[in-house]
Structure 1
Amino acid sequence: MRGLHVLQTGPGVAVQDLGRPGYLAKGLTRGGAADLRAVHEGAALLRQTADHAVLEMVGTGGTFEANEDLRIALTGAVMTAQIDGATLAWNASHALPKGSTLTIGPTRSGTYGYLHVGGGFDTDNALNSRAAHLSCGLGALLQKGDVLPVGQDKGTDVGMTIATDARLTGGTVRIVPSMQTLDFDADVRNRFEDTTFRRDPRANRQGVRMDSDGEGFSNPKALSIVSEVIVPGDIQVTGDGTPFVLLAECQTTGGYPRIGTVLPCDLPRVAQAPAGAALRFQFVSLEDGAAIQARANTELRKLSGAVTPLVRDPADIQDLLSYQLVGGVVSAMHSPLDEG
């Protein structure tokens, strides 16, 4: 059996994929990876579809041994990584030879890192997904001694990379109005949009607490509302005025008012923001939000075209002659300081 032997693992490592859509009415949220863009990036690096299962790592990864020749890719939060002591580039694909040891260490930037394998992790499928959904009792965290089966790999490319974006350090998050947005006074909505929040350390796959200076954002008109369906991206405001952004493993219903909902394409920015990172929320209309999301979906489908070799072959560089290849070259025999 092709597989990856777990020699050591961090406290928050589990198999994830794109999740389980379609079960909300039965009490099960989508779940899946906290950063879906990272799943698509890994798929592009390995030239395979994005429905393959991956490993999601929080804080640190672990130590793994390949029992067959494998291809891997590393995306999401940047972490230290080595194969048999040799340092690996992040947001890139690599060969993992049979018997070699892959070590993935602490996070350098971001929160959720991802390990992909060619062929995907072929773990048990439950309700059309291999994703661990721990709050619902599906799947489990990785343990020392586990052997993760790997599916048949149809690709061969390694040594590829894809550019990173700015989602790992916070920034501006676009939101659309939600069911209770207009129940918040206009001055509260304006102050919410003008506030720079900090990603609170109190966070997990269910949601992230937003911390800020000054008074909270409570809504006396809707301190208690009838529980209704909620989805990842909803921003609930608790009775003391604290906003919480719901993530992939949020509950299915809730009774706190929602001041807005994060666009799916911007939700990875919230999930990946490290503790203390600055975040701002910007309202956009439903129409603009739909257009922004449509463009983001198109970009995900075209990610394979953004993949480039880690080391470029000069023979493949069409505009080679336009590069300044000798700038900065100095002579060992002649010094310009001797002139004049």
Structure 2
Amino acid sequence: MSAIITITRAGPLTTVQDAGRFGQLRHGISASGPMDGVAYRLAGALAGADHGGIEITMAGIGLRLQSGQCRVGLAGGRFDARHNGVMLDWPGAVSLAAGDELTVMPGTVGNYGYLRFDGAPVLPTIMGSLATSSGARLGGLEGRPLQVGDVLELADAAGPAPQAVTARQAETGPIRFVWGLHADLFASPVRQRFVTTPFVISRQLDRMGVRLTDAGGVFADATILSLASDAIVPGDIQILGDGTPIVLMRDHQPTGGYPRIGTIISADLDRFAQLRPGTDVAFSSVSVVHAQQILRSQSP
């Protein structure tokens, strides 16, 4: 049976996401997709979903099942979720019947969480994806974040059976990166301070990028901070003209004209995305070969 969901509360930047819209960067459209891919996949396994779902931010979400029934997988960060007022496990899963309410409130850890359903959202596929792109304003529901009163229809459940899964233990320690194309433009002492001086996650963060507070003045005296624009990728650590470091995220612009000292490795980008404002962050360099080995070791 298909289901109808009404959004009763929506935090900022709550969006429909799927695995991403790949191969469109030449047209100026980033891949988008989940900020925390591991959590997104975990929520899908708990729901029995192989299609898109909802990405929530720190403020959470509220929804009511108007009709039908569905199973919902919940994962990402650590939020407080309730089904008709009864506390749920997080990560976890719950089956909803008509009239049921699901509320997700801010928790103690993380910026992003995921709700995935056993029925696929009935939304148009644009360039092969349902993912909402904040920059291009396409995908999802009218290319915008979800709002109170929005209605989503879910198709009949047709995904894989739900899986009994265990959340991966959170990693700690420095965020690992590989030196970037423009690393040699920074003097050796600057590069050394970059890996020995902590930065702080600022409050200026969204799906396009995360600004870092350079309290240690690592880039205070840096020069040559403007270049000819060229292609960028998620995880690039770009140093703006005023010396501010910014890490480019899933909805990054297609090109950048500032030097990138490095790129966060794929295996650590999800973890970085979940760091809340005010959190100290340190960086540690690895080789490309090592980065690839780490990624393979994390693959299911």
TM-score for the superposition, normalised by structure 2: 0.91
For 1:87, the aligned partner's letter is M
**Does 1:285 find its partner at 2:287?**
yes
Q: What SS is found at the alignment partner of 1:135?
A: coil
Displacement of 1:221 in angstroms is 5.3
Q: What SS is found at the alignment partner of 1:103?
A: strand
Identity score, percent: 35
The aligned counterpart of 1:54 is 53
Displacement of 1:230 in angstroms is 0.6
The aligned counterpart of 2:62 is 63
The aligned counterpart of 2:144 is 140
Q: 1:212 aligns with which of 206, 211, 214?
A: 214
**Does 1:107 find its partner at 2:107?**
yes
Question: Larger Rg: 1 or 2?
Answer: 1
Q: How many residues align?
A: 294
Structure 1's unaligned 5+ residue stretches are 303-340
Residues 292 and 164 from structure 1, CA distance in 2 versus in 1: closer, same or farther, beyond 3 angstroms? closer
RMSD: 2.0
For 1:93, the aligned partner's letter is A
Displacement of 1:164 in angstroms is 4.4
Instruction: Return the alpha-carbon distance in structure 2 between the equivalents of residues 62 and 196 of structure 1.
Output: 33
**Which contiguous aligned blocks of 4+ residues in structure 1 show a shift greater than 4 angstroms?**
155-161, 218-221
Deviations 1:39-97 (A, max 9, x none): 11112223443xx1111111222221112121011111221111111001111112112
**Does 1:150 find its partner at 2:154?**
yes
Displacement of 1:232 in angstroms is 0.7
Instruction: Return the alpha-carbon distance in structure 2 between the equivalents of residues 27 and 269 of structure 1.
Output: 26
**1:23-172 paired onto structure 2 within 5 Å:** 23-49=24-50, 52-66=51-65, 67-138=67-138, 139-154=143-158, 160=164, 162-166=166-170, 171-172=173-174
TM-score for the superposition, normalised by structure 1: 0.81
Displacement of 1:292 in angstroms is 1.6
The aligned counterpart of 1:3 is 4
Segment drifting more, 175-184 vs 229-238: 175-184
Displacement of 1:179 in angstroms is 0.8
Name whichever structure is richer in helix by fraction: 1
Structure 2's unaligned 5+ residue stretches are none
The aligned counterpart of 1:333 is none
Residues 282 and 273 from structure 1, CA distance in 2 versus in 1: closer, same or farther, beyond 3 angstroms? same
Contact 1:180/1:258 (CA < 8 Å) preserved in 2? yes
Instruction: Return the alpha-carbon distance in structure 2 between the equivalents of residues 219 and 228 of structure 1.
Output: 24
Instruction: Return the alpha-carbon distance in structure 1 between the equivalents of residues 201 and 169 of structure 2.
Output: 19
For 2:169, the aligned partner's letter is D
Contact 1:76/1:112 (CA < 8 Å) preserved in 2? yes
The aligned counterpart of 1:186 is 188
Contact 2:42/2:165 (CA < 8 Å) preserved in 1? no
Displacement of 1:243 in angstroms is 1.1
Segment drifting more, 60-69 vs 266-275: 60-69
